[in-house]
Amino acid sequence: MLLTSYLPPPLLRHRLKTRTTVIHQLDKALAKLGIGQLTAQEVKSACYLRGLNSTHIGEDRCRTWLGEWLQISCSLKETELSLLLHNVVLLSTNYLGTRR
């Protein structure tokens, strides 16, 4: 997300909110389009943008993970977008497919 602790807190907060809103809008558009319409590379890129290191994960598992992410993201209201930031930890870090 190109965020660094060297930024002043107001600017950091603004960037974080802006990027979270953009991801949420992308999620809504992707849900309308459907994950099945994406190529394998697009699925991996979408997962990476949302915090999942999909280097060693198969395409099917990436699609499953992305579907879970979209299900949560699309059910959120604008006032609840901070949960998307928690999803990076809750869904990505703890995802069994990322462990070696």
What are the domain boundaries of the chain? Answer: 10-92
Residues 6+ apart with CB under 8 A from 98: 52, 53, 56, 57, 92
Give the model's confidence band at 53: pLDDT under 50 very low, under 70 low, under 90 confident, else very high. Answer: confident
**Gyration radius from the chain CA atoms:** 14
* pLDDT tens by residue, 37-51: 999 999 999 999 888
pLDDT at residue 87 greater than cutoff 80: yes
| pLDDT for 26 beyond 70 | yes
Tokens of 16: 């974080």
